[in-house]
Amino acid sequence: LHIGVLVSVLSLITYCLIRDRHRVRDLSGKHIFVTSCDTGLGNSLAKWLDKRGFPVIAACATERGMQDLRSCCSPSLKTVNLNLADPSSIARAVLFVTEETAGKGLFGLVNNAEGTTPVAPTDWLRIEDFHSVLEVGLIELIEITLKLLPLLKKAEGRIVNLINAQGLVALVGGGYSLSKWGMEAFSDILRIEIQHFGVKVSIIEHGFFKIGEMSSDIIERDLLRLWNRLTPEIRDAYGEKYFVE
């Protein structure tokens, strides 16, 4: 029993020593850029990093989101407006990050975006319904990553992609699962390709969170919109009972 306790204590001490060796010590100039910080995971992460002393650049889609973050964080946290559906907004955000890092490079990029609706049976959808989800949840995240790669390589930084694990289970039609699977593949390929430059790529697969108005009410409202635009032939084929259930 005494030997078991001693081994356990030594193992815990060894673990703590190894863990502490990998902690970032000097945080000066180690900027971290986090997308979608208005609410939810991005918002919480920006505050958490700010409290620990990292210089954070938080991207928000709304002026209110930026104001709320600045009001509860230190002066070192900077905010920038970012609309992932607008290429010019992405360009402005990249320029802002470049100027803020002032030649030091970017220590961390956290990609966090949820292009969710519409979610519906596949033959209820049109190609533009897929575009609306894939552009925000996949294409524009890839674009902003590519544009920030030079800064990440300069700082030998890290890319962290937050991906909803439930998006990897393809249960319903639409672009949501496609975007999550796409980000997984993009991350795995990029990790192999840029490890030569000292840049690490991580995936964090998280669960579903009810954030603000993003709830079943929105999904149901969107389903009703799609149902009403279907041709009579498709509605008759599925039936009212199918739609209600």
Regarding whether 57 and 159 lie in a shared domain, the answer is yes
Residue 97 falls within a domain, yes or no?
yes
Regarding whether 139 and 94 lie in a shared domain, the answer is yes
Residue 138 falls within a domain, yes or no?
yes
Regarding whether 220 and 199 lie in a shared domain, the answer is no
Catalytic-role residue among 15, 176, 238, 242:
176
Residue 212 confidence (pLDDT): 47
Is 0.85 surpassed by the pTM of this model?
A: no
How far apart are alpha carbons 26 and 10 in whole angstroms? Answer: 28
Known catalytic membership, residue 176: yes
**Mean pLDDT value of segment 148-174:** 88
Residue 18 confidence (pLDDT): 65
Regarding whether 119 and 61 lie in a shared domain, the answer is yes
Residue 10 falls within a domain, yes or no?
no
Number of domains, the chain: 2
How far apart are alpha carbons 6 and 72 in whole angstroms? Answer: 45
Regarding whether 225 and 186 lie in a shared domain, the answer is no
Instruction: Write out the residue range of the structural domain in which residue 240 sits.
Output: 215-244
Digit-coded pLDDT (tens) for 26-69:
667 899 999 999 988 899 999 999 999 999 999 999 999 999 99
Residue 19 falls within a domain, yes or no?
no
- Specify the residue for token string 């609309």: 83
Long-range contacts of 211-214 (CB under 8 A, 24+ apart): 211/39, 211/40, 212/39, 212/40, 214/114, 214/116
Digit-coded pLDDT (tens) for 181-202:
999 999 999 999 999 999 999 9
